């Protein structure tokens, strides 16, 4: 008796599917040595698969089983809906295709109309005609149902009338002992192994064969990958097709299919024991399948989480784009490319990676190709459509963030399987995260640029050069370079060769603080140029801040300078600001000035004036709290350290004093500055 031959294959809803199914049927019939059924089998298989492709439009599971007596072909689809439609179509078709002949064409219609009508009629009648053929040729045919859809099957027998076969009568043999039976249950799967199901099946099969005295046996498993049944485990010599064997199907879920075969007559107890073993093996196969699916899914989740974390940390546009292909290769493809659209919507290759470095030049060349079928053309289509599009060896997804199309992400693998649904979903997820990261980095870069520009506009580009007066300033922005600080300084010329120096600190940071800074700076400039006395000008600034400062306040140190002979007269007003350091030419250092009220808090302010005469070589150092509140852990730089740092600088030029103090302040701690730092030095250079 020839062995049973089974082939199962899942095919797409494609016009090539009937031909592919025919190829499978041809192979099976050749293997089972049933050439006499070829014509009928090919025709009926084609009719069923065509029906599935046209009317179900889902993937099709085709199962071809040949045994010694004939062939059974089942075509299952995954479309919901009653199989009753098939019957309706069949009876309807049988009417229209009655042996009286095909319907006559309508009388002299326009050519195009006739063609369309004929095509529609042909389609209708062909479907019926197909089932008519199945009905005529098949020994039996029918429909089946499964959870996700329905199927149609037909059977072609070698001879129309099957000979009644003698059913072998099982002989009663010696009954196995309880101990021997228990050994079947003591075999347990080891889930740690590389192939737990195969390992378990092998050991169990061995025990079973020993127990029932079989010379050999096999466990076959068809994973519905088109490769047919493969041997999962074997024991002894495989059962030969010519001898009687004991066969039990494995209760695995579709699309898997398997069986256990033993080189042994189905004696009284052999069959139930084989059935139990088959169940245990099936359970392990199922567990293994679920575990693999689960591991795969977990792997993707971890991968996505890692991608998110890496992308979220990257605030640099160029780095982000370069990072993306490195994340994707080799997990989702052999190569990956990021294309970003420029202001005109033109896609430009921004980053690419290949699992094989030496293949990178070839990849660049392929990506540069132009033409209707080139990758570049497909990518333009992807970007325009905003949907994933297949490539010759992979596919491309759009990069979309906040509704904006940024570009495309493409992957491919020249060798190896095509991407499955899961991988496509993962890549789409990566693309979403990548697009958001690119957009975030762009926004961050824009903020940084705005902050930098704003800060620059609040400080004088250069300090004036005044004969006899040394002026120098240093400014360090906060560590977060996307923030605008509230510190500022200014040097304003007054009539009669006199100068006004202003150092200030507006509470808070950011754009709002910057607007208040600009307001304070400009109001002071306008008022003092108008010739207002300083206390009056400061009172006006206070009024402005109370009215329009939005709750922000400001501390100011204002000094009016004028040379009188070789002495530099300084008239100092402090409005809540820290006292400046006076460094005498001989190295004595101390804080000077009387404290006043910060501006913007109260309706009236006091800004007492202090005269600080600077003799040649003396310096007066203004600073903001970014200096004294510079932190090292919980420790502050403080006033004492500042004075100690300033004293040795006696005798140096204003430039040197400012630069040294800046370096000392920054060097105090390794942390980036939390607040911005401003230092301004006045020195009597006469």
CB 226 within 8 A of CB 10: yes
Q: Which of 18, 217, 470, 504 binds other proteins (CB under 8 A)?
A: 18
Binding segment (CB under 8 A) for other proteins, from list 126-134, 184-192, 435-443, 521-529: 126-134
Name the residue nearer to other proteins (CB basis): 123 or 635: 123
Q: Which of 1, 80, 119, 312 binds other proteins (CB under 8 A)?
A: 119
Q: Is 511 in the site for other proteins (CB under 8 A)?
A: no
Helix (H) or strand (E) holding 406: strand 404-412
Phi-psi region of 355 (alpha: psi -120 to 50; beta: other; left: phi over 0): alpha
State in angstroms the smallest separation of the CB of 110 from other proteins: 11
Structure tokens at 455: 């800060």
According to CB under 8 A, which residues from 515 to 544 bind other proteins?
none
Q: Is 114 in the site for other proteins (CB under 8 A)?
A: yes
Name the residue nearer to other proteins (CB basis): 16 or 237: 16
Q: Which of 16, 87, 237, 418 binds other proteins (CB under 8 A)?
A: 16
Residue 23, SS3 per DSSP: helix
Q: Which of 95, 107, 112, 136 binds other proteins (CB under 8 A)?
A: 136
State in angstroms the smallest separation of the CB of 170 from other proteins: 43
Name the residue nearer to other proteins (CB basis): 80 or 116: 116
According to CB under 8 A, which residues from 172 to 231 bind other proteins?
none
Name the residue nearer to other proteins (CB basis): 123 or 306: 123
Nearest to 491 by CA among 516, 536, 460, 457: 460
Q: Is 242 in the site for other proteins (CB under 8 A)?
A: no
Name the residue nearer to other proteins (CB basis): 47 or 483: 47
According to CB under 8 A, which residues from 20 to 79 bind other proteins?
20, 22-23, 39, 42-43, 46-47, 50, 53-54
Nearest to 87 by CA among 143, 7, 167, 140: 143
Q: Please report, for residues 86, 97, 121, 136, 153, the alpha-carbon distance to residue 103 in angstroms, rounded to integers and kept in the order given.
A: 22, 8, 9, 21, 29
Residue 273, SS3 per DSSP: helix
Phi-psi region of 214 (alpha: psi -120 to 50; beta: other; left: phi over 0): beta
User: Would you report the helix, strand and coil content of the chain in percent, each value rounded to 5?
Assistant: 40, 25, 35
Name the residue nearer to other proteins (CB basis): 117 or 666: 117
HSE, side-chain direction, 13 A CA sphere, residue 452: 8
State in angstroms the smallest separation of the CB of 241 from other proteins: 27
Binding segment (CB under 8 A) for other proteins, from list 120-128, 244-252, 254-262, 313-321: 120-128
CA distance linking residue 305 with residue 349, whole number of Å: 26
Close Cβ partners of 561 (under 8 Å, ≥ 6 residues apart): 469, 498, 499, 500, 501, 568, 569, 570, 571, 682
| Other Cβ atoms closer than 10 A to 422 | 12
Please provide residue 417's backbone torsions phi and psi, each rounded to the nearest 5 degrees. -70, 155
Nearest to 439 by CA among 396, 406, 410: 406
State in angstroms the smallest separation of the CB of 26 from other proteins: 10
Binding mask 342-371 for other proteins (x = CB under 8 A): ------------------------------
Number of residues that bind other proteins (CB under 8 A): 36
Structure tokens at 632: 């090292």
Binding segment (CB under 8 A) for other proteins, from list 78-86, 107-115, 306-314, 408-416: 107-115
Name the residue nearer to other proteins (CB basis): 1 or 115: 115
Binding mask 448-487 for other proteins (x = CB under 8 A): ----------------------------------------
DSSP string for residues in 561-595: EEEETTEEEEEEEEEBPPPPEEE-TTS-EEE----
Name the residue nearer to other proteins (CB basis): 102 or 301: 102
> Looking at the chain, how many residues does it have?
686
Name the residue nearer to other proteins (CB basis): 343 or 415: 415
State in angstroms the smallest separation of the CB of 362 from other proteins: 26
Name the residue nearer to other proteins (CB basis): 36 or 648: 36
Q: Is 107 in the site for other proteins (CB under 8 A)?
A: no
Name the residue nearer to other proteins (CB basis): 20 or 322: 20
Binding segment (CB under 8 A) for other proteins, from list 124-132, 442-450, 598-606, 667-675: 124-132
State in angstroms the smallest separation of the CB of 400 from other proteins: 37
Q: Which of 132, 224, 251, 459 binds other proteins (CB under 8 A)?
A: 132
| 290-303 per-residue burial string, b: 16 or more CB within 10 A, e: under 16 | eeeeeeeeeebeeb
Q: Which of 12, 35, 105, 460 binds other proteins (CB under 8 A)?
A: 105
Structure tokens at 596: 């006043």
State in angstroms the smallest separation of the CB of 62 from other proteins: 13
Name the residue nearer to other proteins (CB basis): 136 or 467: 136
CB 471 within 8 A of CB 437: no
DSSP string for residues in 378-399: HHHHHHHHTS-EEETTEEEEEE
Binding segment (CB under 8 A) for other proteins, from list 101-109, 156-164, 188-196, 524-532: 101-109
Close Cβ partners of 254 (under 8 Å, ≥ 6 residues apart): 61, 146, 224
Q: What is the CA radius of gyration of the chain?
A: 44
Q: Is 122 in the site for other proteins (CB under 8 A)?
A: yes
Q: Which residues are near other proteins by CB under 8 A?
A: 15-16, 18-20, 22-23, 39, 42-43, 46-47, 50, 53-54, 97-102, 105, 111, 114-115, 118-119, 122-123, 125-126, 129-130, 132-133, 136
């Amino acid at each position: 008796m020839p062995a049973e031959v089974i082939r199962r294959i899942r095919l797409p809803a494609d016009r090539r599917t009937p031909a592919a199914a025919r190829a499978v049927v041809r192979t099976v019939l050749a293997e089972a040595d049933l050439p006499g059924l070829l014509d009928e089998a090919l025709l009926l298989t084609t009719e069923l698969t065509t029906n599935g492709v046209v009317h179900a439009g889902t993937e099709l599971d085709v199962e071809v089983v040949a045994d010694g007596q004939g062939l059974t072909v089942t075509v299952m689809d995954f479309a919901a809906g009653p199989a009753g439609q098939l019957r309706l179509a069949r009876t309807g078709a049988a009417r229209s295709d009655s042996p009286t002949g095909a319907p006559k064409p309508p009388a002299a219609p326009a050519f195009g109309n006739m063609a369309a009508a004929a095509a529609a009629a042909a389609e209708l009648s062909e479907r019926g005609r197909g089932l008519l053929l199945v009905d005529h040729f098949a020994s039996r045919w029918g429909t089946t149902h499964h959870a996700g859809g329905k199927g149609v099957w037909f059977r072609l027998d070698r001879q129309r009338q099957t000979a009644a076969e003698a059913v072998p009568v099982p002989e009663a043999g010696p009954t196995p002992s309880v101990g021997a039976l228990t050994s079947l249950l003591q075999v347990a799967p080891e889930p740690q192994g590389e192939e737990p199901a195969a390992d378990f099946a092998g050991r169990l099969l061995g025990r079973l064969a020993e127990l029932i005295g079989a010379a050999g046996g096999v466990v076959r498993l068809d994973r519905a990958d088109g490769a047919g049944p493969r041997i999962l485990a074997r024991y002894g010599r495989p059962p030969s097709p010519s001898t009687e064997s004991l066969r039990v199907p494995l209760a695995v879920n579709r699309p898997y299919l398997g069986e256990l075969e033993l080189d042994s007559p189905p004696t009284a107890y052999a069959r139930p024991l084989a059935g139990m073993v088959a169940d245990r093996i099936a359970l392990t196969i199922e567990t293994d399948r679920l575990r693999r699916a689960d591991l795969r899914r977990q792997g993707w989740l971890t991968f996505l989480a890692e991608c998110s974390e890496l992308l979220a940390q990257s605030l640099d546009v160029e780095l982000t784009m370069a990072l993306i292909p490195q994340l994707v290769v080799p997990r989702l493809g052999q190569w990956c490319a990021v294309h970003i659209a420029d202001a005109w919507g033109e896609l430009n290759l921004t980053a690419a990676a290949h699992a094989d470095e030496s293949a990178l030049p070839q990849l660049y060349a392929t990506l540069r190709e132009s033409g209707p079928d080139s990758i570049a053309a497909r990518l333009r289509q992807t970007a325009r459509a905003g949907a994933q599009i297949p490539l010759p060896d992979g596919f491309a997804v759009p990069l979309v963030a906040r509704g904006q199309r940024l570009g495309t992400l493409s992957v491919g693998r020249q060798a190896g399987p095509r991407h499955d649904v899961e991988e496509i979903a993962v890549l789409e997820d990566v693309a979403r995260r990548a697009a958001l990261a690119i957009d975030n980095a762009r926004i961050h870069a824009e903020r940084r640029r705005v902050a930098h520009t704003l800060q620059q506009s609040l400080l004088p580009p250069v300090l004036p050069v005044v004969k006899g007066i040394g002026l120098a300033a240093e400014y360090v922005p906060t560590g977060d370079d996307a923030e605008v600080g509230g510190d500022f300084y200014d040097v304003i010329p007054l009539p009669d060769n006199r100068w006004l120096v202003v150092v200030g600190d507006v509470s808070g940071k950011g754009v709002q603080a910057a607007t208040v800074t600009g307001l304070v700076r400009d109001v002071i400039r306008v008022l003092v140029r108008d010739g207002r006395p300083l206390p009056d000008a400061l009172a006006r600034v206070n009024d402005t801040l109370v009215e329009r400062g939005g709750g922000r306040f400001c501390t100011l140190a204002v000094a009016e300078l004028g040379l009188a002979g070789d002495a530099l007269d300084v008239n100092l007003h402090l409005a809540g600001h820290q006292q400046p350091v006076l460094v005498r030419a001989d190295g004595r250092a101390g804080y000077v000035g009387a404290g006043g009220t910060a501006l913007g808090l109260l309706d009236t302010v006091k800004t007492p004036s202090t005269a600080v005469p600077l003799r040649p070589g003396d310096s007066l150092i203004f600073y903001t709290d970014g200096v004294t509140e510079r932190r090292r852990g919980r420790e502050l730089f403080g006033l004492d350290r500042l004075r100690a740092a300033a004293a040795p600088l006696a005798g140096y030029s204003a430039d040197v004093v400012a630069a040294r103090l800046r370096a000392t302040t920054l060097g105090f701690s390794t942390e980036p500055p939390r607040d911005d730092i401003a230092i301004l030095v006045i020195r009597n250079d006469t």
